[in-house]
Each structure stands twice: as C-alpha cells, then as structure tokens.
Chain A
Amino acid sequence: AQTVTQSQPEMSVQEAETVTLSCTYDTSENNYYLFWYKQPPSRQMILVIRQEAYKQQNATENRFSVNFQKAAKSFSLKISDSQLGDTAMYFCAFMMLSGYALNFGKGTSLLVTP
C-alpha cells in the first residue's frame, strides 16, 4: 500500500516570498504519478501541478514548481512570489500508473500574509 506524508500541518509566508511545502511517500512501484492539489477556503479542490515518476525533469506551472527526488521518495512544492490568493489547503497525492484512485496526504494549510 502507498502512503503519503505531509509533515507540516500549517505554514505561513509573507506575500511575495517563497515557500516550500514538503511531501514524502512510500511505494514499491517504479512508475506512478504525483500531484499537488489546492483547496482554497470554501472552494473546490483544484490541481496545481503533476509529475510523472519516469520523468527526471521537475514539473513547473508558472509560480509553482516541484522538487522531485525519486530515490528519496520526496515531492516538495515550491511557491514563488506568494500571493494572497495562494492561501489554501495543499494536498499532495499519489496515483499508480494503472490506477484510478488518488492517495492523499493529510494536507498543509498555507496562509499568505500581507
């Protein structure tokens, strides 16, 4: 079974600063996908970024980038130039290549302050 661990329940960052959210996972699979989802207060969960395990290059989406360390089973999310709208719960998730189920971590609550 796969497990996803987010060790930071809460974090805060000042506007325009950079913040990194941690995620580790445990799996015996070699090929899989990793995701970061964002859930703003009282809003839907939306996909922020996705990483295929077979790709060595770290995924980036505008101000969001990941540091994927396959050997260490680590998948951290870096948010650059933080904005007030980045305030949200952030969930790290794992999916097997042949699966349908997202396996989530407990989430990190990020607060961006002015």
Chain B
Amino acid sequence: EPEVTQTPSHQVTQMGQEVILRCVPISNHLYFYWYRQILGQKVEFLVSFYNNEISEKSEIFDDQFSVERPDGSNFTLKIRSTKLEDSAMYFCASSEEGGSADTQYFGPGTRLTVL
C-alpha cells in the first residue's frame, strides 16, 4: 500500500540555522499538508498546498516558513532562522482531493530538535 514518506526521521540544528524537511506524498495525490506537534501538545495544522499554491495556512505559518514542490515527487517545508520553540515533530500528509470529504494520509514525521 502506498505511503507518505518523510526524511530525515530526526534533524538536529542550531538556533538560527535554516532547515528543510522533505516529504514524498502518495504519487497520485494532489493536495499536500504540513502539521506539527510540539512535545506534550496537540497536532497543529500549518499549511495546505495545491497546484503550486498555498490553499490554506494557520497563524503559525508565518514568514519564517515556506513550502515548495520542487519536482514531481517531493514536497518540502523550509524553516528559516530556526528558534528553540520550533522543536517539534513535523508531519507531512497528502490527499487525493482536498477538503473534508477526502482522507489525509500522514507520514511518520520528522523530529526537529533546535539547540
């Protein structure tokens, strides 16, 4: 069964550095998402992406964050100038169609640790 994959599984970075988290969505899916979960807190929506555009974003997704689909298979989340509070598990998801009628399939997550 096709799965969403994410690399790396764990990323350690220094405060102020840029990081890029990578995701390979399921191949026939058109909608892509990023969520994050700070330890002990809820999974929070960051952004959804369709047709090379952001379709929805949360208040968390400020100018520090950006997303890109650089080729036909990858979907990336870039965090510029990381802060300690960016330490979290970041989940990528994809769906065949967008909206509430469709199932979002999640990847295993990337644990980001900012020192």
- Chain A residues within 8 Å of B, Cβ to Cβ: 4, 32-33, 37, 42-47, 50, 91, 95-107
Interface size classification for chain B = 20 to 34
- Residue interface mask B73-103, A partner, CB < 8 A = 1: 0000000000000000001000000111101
A44 lies within 8 A of B3 (CB) = yes
Q: Are A104 and B42 in contact (CB under 8 A)?
A: yes
A99 close to B99 (CB less than 8 A): yes
B45 pairs with A101, CB closer than 8 A: yes
Complex alpha-carbon distance, A95 and B101, angstroms: 10
Pick the contact of A105 from B33, B42, B99 — CB < 8 Å?
B42
A-B contact pairs, 30 of them (CB 8 A): A32-B100, A33-B100, A43-B108, A44-B3, A44-B106, A44-B107, A44-B108, A45-B106, A46-B105, A46-B106, A47-B104, A91-B43, A95-B100, A96-B100, A98-B99, A99-B99, A99-B100, A100-B31, A100-B33, A100-B55, A100-B99, A101-B48, A101-B58, A102-B43, A102-B45, A104-B44, A105-B42, A106-B42, A107-B42, A107-B43
